[in-house]
Structure 1
Amino acid sequence: MFGTTLWYFSILIFVMVISYKTIKLKTKNRLTPSNIDSQLARVIAFLEENGGNHISHLILLQDKDVYWAAEEQVLIVYKRMGNKIVVLGDPIGPESLIPQSIKEFQDYSVRKGLKPIFYQISPRFMHLYHDTGYRFLKLGEEGIVSLHSFSIEGKQGAKLRTRVNKFTRNAYTFSVIMPPYSQAILSELKGISDAWLGNQKEKGFSVVSFSEEYVSCFPVALLNDPDGKVIAFATLASDHKKSITIDLMRKLPDSPHGTMDVLFIQIFKWAKENGYQNCSLGMAPLSNVGDCKYSFQSEKFIRLAYLHGNSMYNFKGLKEFKSKFACGWEPKYLAYRKTFLPIVIIQLLLLINSTPHPKTVVDKIKYLMKKTG
């Protein structure tokens, strides 16, 4: 028994080392300063015309590669990890071309000797992946706020309403600013971000990270104290379909209790006034995964991480915070083909925890992201 366990452990360590080296060395196809005009600007223009999905704004982290499918009418964003190609979200483009695009990318991956994995896909297209031979693992749920129905009035919203009123009485102010930003405001936001991170390091791929270049591409919501000092901020990403996402969120460690509650509620109010219909709160990882006695064994195993990994990742705390606001939850899945699932999970963790490498030449495309609708 011990020998078998040791053998599995050795294999997993080997996979981790190879995968890590792949992240460090595989860079030649990324969006680099040399091809930014022909790639990144093209991607953003495509998203403005066709709309995006719940995580398409993360393309601007510039740590991923792009593949144009269906005669360049569909966008697929991915990153290589070991012998896997991990696609971020569903393909983006005309819905009628999505089936063709999934099959095309599958063929492309096979020719490269790699295995494609689609990370955080939506239920809407699951039947298309199924028809191409994919299996599924639930990853968590995306919290969604219906801006027309969300309210802090009445008994149910009493606590949140009390917090908003308290901050207002104490002269805290809310605003949304638009790029381009001065170096002074970017430095102030970086200071808040650094204080919030503490000894932690930034994550990447499917998790947003702070860089002045990335922040400069979006509207930023600010909460200021009575002296005008910014105590919390959030970048606001739009899918150009009347939906907005609260993206990068940071606050000072000594900010008053309820700071993020107030920031979120003010963002909802602002978004509704500016014509948005929905606001995404992002993922609650592992939420409602494997909690049914009929769930797959792999999902029951992941459930243990949700129950016992809270001290490290605060899965339950994140779900509880977002549940204050969410009007509904949409499940997100991992779509994978024949592969050893534990290794896939380890590779994904390495990918998310790898240091992001945003590029520095984005001035030419910042103006494309100034719009908020």
Structure 2
Amino acid sequence: MVQGKLEPAPLSRRAIARLVQVAGLFDVVTGIAPPRHGRMAWVAEFVPAAGVLTARAGTVVVGLLLIYLGAGLRRGKRRAWQVAVVLAAASIALHLVKALDYDAAGVAAVLLIMLLVTHDRFTAIADPANRWLALRALAGFGAAGFVLGFLEIATRANHLVGTPGVVAWTEQAALGLVGLDGPLEFRHRFGAELVAYTTGACGLLAVAVTLVLLLRPGSRRPHRDGESEERLRELLSRYGGQDSLGYFAARADKSLMWSPDRAAVIAYRVVNGVTLASGDPIGPESAWPGAIGTWLGDAACHGWTPAVLGCGNSAGKAYRKAGLDVVELGDEAIVDTAAFSLAGRPMRGVRQAVNRVRRAGYTCRLVRQRDLGESELRDAVRAAEAFRDGPQERGFSMALSRLGDPRDGDCLLVLCHDADGRLRGLLQFVPWGADGLSLDLMRGDRSAENGLTEFMVTAVLEQGPGLGVRRVSLNFAVLRSVFARADELGAGPVLRLWDRVLRAASRLWQIESLYRSNARYLPTWTPRYLCFPTARDLPRIAVAALTAEAFLPERLGRARVRALEPK
């Protein structure tokens, strides 16, 4: 079964997750609601006031954590189930301590029994890295709370009854972290409460942060051995012409998931609990179901949400057969080099830009990377770094994010020099089978003549047939049909509203300008699709996709894919 789909059992993982969240909300309400006075008087005889207040605060924290656990339980996380069991048991004790609330304790007991009975539904593997990070957080917050409590006792040492030693101070601060009173007695109640509240709050914060980190969606470091890399190159040489995005599977930050017979492979990356594939599987279509099934099985095993960015029509059908939903994400601009021409009114803008740059004395050189000398390649790498707009290397699904790597000898570089021989612009195209190119890198000096990009792209399209290049894939336009249809006569109000929303988003991500710049070359638009389990997963997938493409920062930082200079 595809992870994220509904299960037929009366108590599916989704139903259990909702019940746990409802119980968590109930805990929050009972922790905030005023207690019954009769029961409070009886509890006060056995539990100090600080313990009762800590229990009430703990009930609220437990309730919030149970609500937070819902997402992990829906994904079948074993660790989420283990934590839910502990919290349900703790909730029973807290309800009794805070006010002898037998009704609320009974609800928590029913929740605990339900979780124990359904334990076999939560088998997803936890991320071991989260465990150590959570332990460090627990130790850090616990130590901070202990130190703060100890310092507060030290500053009020003259308010203590008697002359207790440092050992007693230590015991008081340590017990305060778990909401218990220590051996010290203060002359004034304010001092005792202040120490109790400080240490108790830090203790609760330590537990809450630890559990959040422990349950945080995991990730996987990309691992590619020499054998897998060689097999991938072999498949690209045989089947790379099927998909213009196939070569981008060679990115260093993508993992590879193989079919059982290693006849096909899916390139993917795990980002914040989303296993994000891109493009079509590489290999014969008959082997795609095996690779897709292995990838989805791995996602279910770890409790990750599967998603595919930018696959083609055939792959979209294969993913849909495997149980994922499919929607159109946008369109890829593909130009037939044999049919391309600057003549005609529709090409007037491009023609004028090209002629302006040409009159300024600019020239373009098209060369395969393997045919460049070491010094020339080194200069190209440095120029690309210098021309980059911003510190972040963006791209994932349709970018290689490296230049100058010896493994990329078949990449085509477009080097544009001005009249003085200075390198002012650079394009890199990756191979698309034996007769195609796919645009990867586009860099230009911002002080160069206006129209530099059009000049370089046109050089590729005009010289392509002589290089054996029949087709060229340019940039991908997200939701291109919205812009195109909004310009047509009779566009409806919903479409116009959607158009305005995308135009506003374009101020940050250049969605519209990318579409307009591609449309100038009169390409053939080929749809690309997004595949996902259910609609409720779309927000998480969107955040993961924007993070992978480097439009959003990673939660723990993103290791930048560096440009590799030839040795």
> TM-score band (shorter)?
0.7 to 0.9
Q: What residue identity is the alignment partner of 2:518?
A: K
Give the structure 1 partner of residue 394 of structure 2. 203
Instruction: State how 1:165-180 maps to structure 2 within 5 Å.
Output: 165-180=355-370
Contact preservation (8 Å) 2:340, 2:462: no
Give the structure 2 partner of residue 340 of structure 1. 537
Using the TM superposition, name which of 110-119 and 228-237 deviates more: 110-119
Q: What CA deviation, in whole Å up to 9, does each residue of 1:271-304 have, x standing for no partner?
A: 2222222110031123225968999x9x999766
Give the structure 1 partner of residue 417 of structure 2. 224
Give the structure 1 partner of residue 189 of structure 2. none
Which structure dedicates a bigger proportion of its chain to helix?
Answer: 2
Using the TM superposition, name which of 328-337 and 198-207 deviates more: 198-207
Q: What residue identity is the alignment partner of 1:312?
A: L
In 2: Cα distance, 1:178 partner to 1:320 partner:
29
Alpha carbons of structure 1 residues 243 and 360: separation in structure 2 relative to 1, 3 Å: closer
Q: What residue identity is the alignment partner of 1:184?
A: S
Higher Rg of the two aligned structures:
2
Q: What CA deviation, in whole Å up to 9, does each residue of 1:245-295 have, x standing for no partner?
A: 122110001110111111001011222222222110031123225968999
SS at match of 2:464: helix
- 2:521 is the counterpart of 1:329: no
Give the structure 1 partner of residue 175 of structure 2. none
Give the structure 2 partner of residue 320 of structure 1. 516
- 2:213 is the counterpart of 1:213: no
Q: What residue identity is the alignment partner of 2:281?
A: P
Give the structure 1 partner of residue 77 of structure 2. none
Contact preservation (8 Å) 2:332, 2:528: yes
Give the structure 1 partner of residue 450 of structure 2. 257
Give the structure 2 partner of residue 188 of structure 1. 379
Instruction: State how 1:353-368 maps to structure 2 within 5 Å.
Output: 353=550, 355=558, 357-358=560-561
Give the structure 1 partner of residue 284 of structure 2. 94
Q: What residue identity is the alignment partner of 1:316?
A: E
Give the structure 2 partner of residue 113 of structure 1. 303
Alpha carbons of structure 1 residues 22 and 224: separation in structure 2 relative to 1, 3 Å: farther
Which structure dedicates a bigger proportion of its chain to strand?
Answer: 1
In 2: Cα distance, 1:240 partner to 1:97 partner:
19
Q: What residue identity is the alignment partner of 2:385?
A: D
Q: What residue identity is the alignment partner of 1:319?
A: Y
Give the structure 1 partner of residue 549 of structure 2. 352
In 2: Cα distance, 1:270 partner to 1:139 partner:
31
In 2: Cα distance, 1:261 partner to 1:193 partner:
18
Alpha carbons of structure 1 residues 72 and 361: separation in structure 2 relative to 1, 3 Å: farther
Using the TM superposition, name which of 271-280 and 257-266 deviates more: 271-280
Alpha carbons of structure 1 residues 144 and 361: separation in structure 2 relative to 1, 3 Å: closer
Using the TM superposition, name which of 151-160 and 87-96 deviates more: 151-160
Deviation at 1:323, TM superposition (A): 0.4
Q: What CA deviation, in whole Å up to 9, does each residue of 1:144-165 have, x standing for no partner?
A: 1111211111333333333333
Higher relative contact order (CA 8 A, sep 6+): 1
Q: What residue identity is the alignment partner of 1:322?
A: N
- 2:42 is the counterpart of 1:42: no
In 2: Cα distance, 1:315 partner to 1:87 partner:
22
**Corresponding pairs, count:** 344
Alpha carbons of structure 1 residues 214 and 80: separation in structure 2 relative to 1, 3 Å: farther
Contact preservation (8 Å) 1:193, 1:210: no
In 2: Cα distance, 1:336 partner to 1:214 partner:
36
Alpha carbons of structure 1 residues 260 and 282: separation in structure 2 relative to 1, 3 Å: same
Instruction: State how 1:98-177 maps to structure 2 within 5 Å.
Output: 98-177=288-367
Q: What CA deviation, in whole Å up to 9, does each residue of 1:25-81 have, x standing for no partner?
A: 732x423xxx2x222233112201222522222233311101111510001101112
SS at match of 2:447: coil
Q: What residue identity is the alignment partner of 2:301?
A: R
Q: What residue identity is the alignment partner of 2:388?
A: L
Q: What residue identity is the alignment partner of 2:248?
A: L
Please, what TM-score do these two structures have when normalized by structure 1? 0.80
Deviation at 1:225, TM superposition (A): 0.7
Contact preservation (8 Å) 1:143, 1:284: yes
In 1: Cα distance, 2:352 partner to 2:491 partner:
42
Q: What residue identity is the alignment partner of 2:235?
A: F
In 2: Cα distance, 1:215 partner to 1:316 partner:
34
Contact preservation (8 Å) 1:54, 1:280: yes
Q: What residue identity is the alignment partner of 1:228?
A: G
Contact preservation (8 Å) 2:308, 2:530: yes
Deviation at 1:185, TM superposition (A): 2.8
Alpha carbons of structure 1 residues 301 and 102: separation in structure 2 relative to 1, 3 Å: farther
Contact preservation (8 Å) 2:474, 2:518: yes
In 1: Cα distance, 2:563 partner to 2:358 partner:
38
Q: What residue identity is the alignment partner of 2:415?
A: L
Contact preservation (8 Å) 2:362, 2:419: yes
SS at match of 2:266: strand
In 2: Cα distance, 1:74 partner to 1:127 partner:
16
In 1: Cα distance, 2:293 partner to 2:356 partner:
55
Please, what TM-score do these two structures have when normalized by structure 2? 0.54
SS at match of 2:282: coil
The gaps in structure 1 that reach 5 residues or longer are 1-6, 365-373
Deviation at 1:363, TM superposition (A): 7.5
Alpha carbons of structure 1 residues 117 and 159: separation in structure 2 relative to 1, 3 Å: closer
Deviation at 1:121, TM superposition (A): 1.1
- 2:472 is the counterpart of 1:279: yes
Q: What residue identity is the alignment partner of 1:255?
A: A
Q: What residue identity is the alignment partner of 1:90?
A: D
SS at match of 1:340: helix
Alpha carbons of structure 1 residues 228 and 58: separation in structure 2 relative to 1, 3 Å: same
Alpha carbons of structure 1 residues 96 and 304: separation in structure 2 relative to 1, 3 Å: farther
Q: Report percent identity of matched pairs.
A: 20
Q: What residue identity is the alignment partner of 2:543?
A: I
In 1: Cα distance, 2:468 partner to 2:285 partner:
25
